[in-house]
Structure 1
Amino acid sequence: MRKETLESIASDLRTGRSVNLSVEDFPCFSEEAAIEDPRTSPEALARISAGLTAKDACVFERAARAVEEGDMAWVGFKVVDNASVAVSNVDNDVTKSYGTIGSADGYDLVFFCNDAKEVVAARDYSARDFFQMKDVTRGPSMHNDQFEGLTWASVPLFDSVKVWLLGASDVAVETAALARHVGFEVEVVDDDASFLSEERFPGCKRTLVSSFDDLGSMRANSSDCVCVLTRGHMHDPEGCVWAIAQGVRYVGMMGCKGKNGRVHDLCVDAGMTEEQWEAIKRPIGLKFGAKTPAELAISIVAELVDVRYRQRYSQEAREKHDASLW
């Protein structure tokens, strides 16, 4: 999300101009999202846009500041499809009690929420609303369909973590689909166009190189993750050398002990130090007996989620979160 976009929306609202929130900026209301839940359709976003007033400018102003500060924050939406039901819903014996009313009112609402549980909205919200607003930070909304009459949606104001898949192998196909599903940005690199197709990697950036020796022309960020998954492991050394040279946060490589020994020798011959070699996670992924491409993808993406979690949250915050689970 661009800060300038949010500032423009806020400015238009402050001066009384109508706004038209776009699906490109708020993809939680895309046609794809509407397939899973018709309440989060482009038409719903248009309805919400038409209902915004100058009072709602504070939400977008706070969101713009969050982008500037690099805050973990979201713009969220309460989407109401049955006003009377949304207000009258009550908790059951399992859920924590949030009072005798459900949602504060039967109207759509746009709001800001960050990971520190700060909420900014133009209207009052109920204790139940606040519970669901906070869960936007587990995004998308963790309990968006817990109560009838309304749903919740959100868009993050921070960038996704990028995952490079070096090699368009069968394991990479499964890993790409699962990584995208849990919110990673995915780029797949290979030297054979027949493997690097849209059908195999829908929604991913696909980069064709003439040779894995040409990886040096590409640049990764320090926050990126690299999974070395080349077909038949034939170009794992080139992938490992490139990833280490980029200084990325995480590098993982598939393979058994014997294969890793040969890759080690080739990487060292290419100038990699022993310390750099030890920084590569081998074998890639969490260890729980995964063998098939789909099972291996689960182990890989589970590890990526853990890497992202540790990247975004301090040790103190992780300990607090873990303690709350027991």
Structure 2
Amino acid sequence: MERATLLEIIDDLGHGVTPDLTVEDFPCFAEDAAGDNPHLSPAVLDRIAAGLGRADIPTFERALRAMDEGDLAWIGFKVVIDGDAAVGNVDNEVTKKYGDVGSADGQDLVFFCNDAKEIVASRPYSPRDTFQMKDVTRGPSMHNDQFAGLTWASVALFDRVEVWIVGASDAAVETAALAKHVGFRVHVIDDNEAFISEDRFPEVDRILLDDFRELFDIKPAANAYVCVLTRGHMHDPEGCLWGNANKAHYIGMMGCKGKNNRVHDLCIEGGMTEEQWEAVKRPIGLKFGAKTPAELAIAIVAELIDVRYKQNYSQEARDRHEQSLGR
């Protein structure tokens, strides 16, 4: 999401003009994102845009402020499939806790929601709507289609965390696919064209080096995550040194104790301090007996998710989340 997009929407609404909402800015309505769901499509996004008016300006103004403040916040969409069913969706005994009222009305709605669960919308919303608004802004939601007559979607107002995978090993192949699937922006670096091919790494950014010394010409985003997964561990020192030089929020490296000792010596010779070396997660990933490339990818990406969770949410927010799950 670009700041200029929000400004254009606000300006159009202020002049009584239907804003141009594109799938580039709201990718949850893109055909490749929606899959076989006909209720999340470019045509539906056009319908929602046509229904916006001046009353929706505060929603987008709040989104703009959240972006300026670096808030964890989202623009969400209530997409109505059947208005009568949406209002009457109270048929499940388990969800009676949300009251005996379905959705507040049978109309599409654009809303703002942040991690503090502040909601801004142009029309009233019911307790069931509130539940769905909070839920869909957790990311890919488990409950978008829980109630009849409507579905939900959202787009984040903050940048995805960058994951840089140094090396195109088999474990890297599995890690790249899984990391992209859970919402990271993935880059893979290697010096062998055959290993870093599009077939092995579809739909992620691939960077082919002539020599791993070129790695130090690349500048990742601030607070990026670096996974050092080089083939045969041959360029692990370069990966660790590069991540450290760019102040990566997280650096993880595979390998056994003996290999780590040699990489340690080379990293210290390369300018890392002992404290910086100890900050490298070794071995990378959560520990639960993973051995195959696919299993290792699960362990690695699970750890990345945990790091992102702790980075993005305060201890108070995490405690509140754990309490809500009964843990």
Q: Aligned equivalents of 1:24 and 1:205: distance in 2?
A: 17
Q: Aligned equivalents of 1:133 and 1:321: distance in 2?
A: 16
* Runs (5+) with no aligned partner, structure 1: none
Secondary structure in structure 2 of the residue aligned to 1:40:
coil
Amino acid at match of 1:297: A
Secondary structure in structure 1 of the residue aligned to 2:107:
coil
Deviation at 1:118, TM superposition (A): 0.9
Q: How does 1:298-317 map to 2 (within 5 A)?
A: 298-317=298-317
Residue matched to 2:241: 241
Contact 2:252 2:285 in 1 (8 A): yes
Q: Aligned equivalents of 1:170 and 1:27: distance in 2?
A: 30
Secondary structure in structure 1 of the residue aligned to 2:302:
helix
Q: Aligned equivalents of 2:153 and 2:199: distance in 1?
A: 28
Matched, 1:166 2:166: yes
Greater mean alpha carbon deviation, residues 201-210 or residues 150-159? 201-210
Residue matched to 1:216: 216
Residue matched to 2:9: 9
Q: Aligned equivalents of 1:229 and 1:95: distance in 2?
A: 45
Residue matched to 2:262: 262
Residue matched to 2:85: 85
Deviation at 1:33, TM superposition (A): 2.3
Deviations 1:2-49 (A, max 9, x none): 122101101101110122200000000001123142211111111111
Deviations 1:139-170 (A, max 9, x none): 13442111111100000000111000000111
Amino acid at match of 1:154: S
Residue matched to 2:272: 272
Deviation at 1:281, TM superposition (A): 0.4
Contact 1:3 1:65 in 2 (8 A): no
Secondary structure in structure 1 of the residue aligned to 2:101:
coil
Deviation at 1:94, TM superposition (A): 2.1
* Runs (5+) with no aligned partner, structure 2: none
Deviation at 1:91, TM superposition (A): 5.0
Percentage of matched positions with identical amino acids = 67
Residue matched to 1:40: 40
Residue matched to 2:321: 321
Amino acid at match of 1:267: C
Contact 1:132 1:141 in 2 (8 A): no
Matched, 1:154 2:148: no
CA-based RMSD of the aligned residues comes to: 1.3
Contact 1:166 1:189 in 2 (8 A): yes
Deviation at 1:125, TM superposition (A): 1.0
Contact 2:90 2:96 in 1 (8 A): no
Relative to structure 1, is the Cα distance of residues 77 and 184 closer, same or farther in structure 2, using a 3 angstrom cutoff?
Answer: same
Contact 1:74 1:114 in 2 (8 A): yes
Greater mean alpha carbon deviation, residues 97-106 or residues 165-174? 97-106
Contact 2:76 2:137 in 1 (8 A): no
Deviation at 1:96, TM superposition (A): 4.7
Greater mean alpha carbon deviation, residues 261-270 or residues 115-124? 261-270
Residue matched to 1:106: 106
Deviations 1:47-83 (A, max 9, x none): 1111111211221111111111111110000111111
Deviation at 1:136, TM superposition (A): 2.3
* TM-score, normalised with respect to structure 1: 0.97
Q: How does 1:188-207 map to 2 (within 5 A)?
A: 188-207=188-207
Relative to structure 1, is the Cα distance of residues 259 and 279 closer, same or farther in structure 2, using a 3 angstrom cutoff?
Answer: same
Amino acid at match of 2:229: L
* TM-score, normalised with respect to structure 2: 0.96
Amino acid at match of 1:254: M
Secondary structure in structure 2 of the residue aligned to 1:9:
helix
Greater mean alpha carbon deviation, residues 212-221 or residues 163-172? 212-221
Q: Aligned equivalents of 2:96 and 2:312: distance in 1?
A: 28
Contact 1:4 1:64 in 2 (8 A): no
Amino acid at match of 1:325: L
